[in-house]
Amino acid sequence: MQINLSGHHVEITDGIRTAVESKFSKVQSHYPSMGALSVVLTVERNEQSVEARTQFMGASVAVEATDNDLYVAIADAAKKLEAALAHRKGANASHRHERPAG
């Protein structure tokens, strides 16, 4: 899986890169058809935020998580992304057996 990692007001260290790759690779193992992942890390005065965007089953899926600790925000974003992908997969599956209108 390709992860495009960028930072806003933060330098991307090896520890941050490892944390992002380990958390989001678990999500990718559950959803192998997920496209490239774009992760933006933002550090403000008292809050760290993580925004993750990807393509899945023909739709754009984006999540955002904020916390005082950057590593907690990364974990929360991965958890939210997995939930959003499960919701998207369920939405497509629910329309599978509907009768066509007409």
CATH class of 3-92: alpha beta
Q: Which tens digit of pLDDT belongs to each residue from 64-85?
A: 999 999 999 999 999 999 998 8
- pLDDT greater than 80 at residue 92: no
Judge whether residue 45 has pLDDT over 70. yes
Query: Which residues contact residue 67 at a Cβ distance below 8 angstroms, ignoring those fewer than 6 apart?
Result: 47, 48, 73, 76
pTM here?
Answer: 0.82
Quick one: pLDDT at residue 2? 86
